[in-house]
Amino acid sequence: MFSTTLREVGPNARLVNGDVENVVRSLKSEADGQITVAGADLAAHLARSGLIDEYRLYIHPVVLGGGKPYFQTGLSLALKALGKESLTQGVTLLRYAPAG
């Protein structure tokens, strides 16, 4: 878990507050499966570093005004479509990879 405010985490987690890029590179080489990222600041940092292999956007049939944007101002990404899937309750999953 990446955090600048937490001091400890639960038993199945590891707290990281150091070099995000090197830790993620290490996790990617060790992991057998997906690494999921949540949080706009961390995602933007990893996107700028070229460390995100796939974007999964879940579109819900609800419109909410306000909140922190997931893709921050100044971040520009060229993406190529990998697929789409209709899920339950009207949710649509869109999958993309970096185009370059």
At 43-54, the pLDDT tens digits run: 888 998 999 999
Domain that holds residue 91: 20-98
Q: What is the pLDDT of residues 3-28, one digit of tens each?
A: 888 889 998 888 887 788 998 999 89
First-to-last alpha carbon distance for the chain, in angstroms, is 28
Write the CATH number for 40. 3.40.430.10
Number of domains within the chain: 1
Name the pTM for this structure: 0.79
Would residue 53 count as lying in a domain? yes
- Does some domain include residue 10? no
For 65, residues 6+ apart whose C-beta sits below 8 A from its C-beta are none
For residues 19-41, one letter each, b for 16 or more C-beta atoms within 10 angstroms of the residue's C-beta and e for the rest, the string is eeeeebeeeeeeeeeeeebeeee
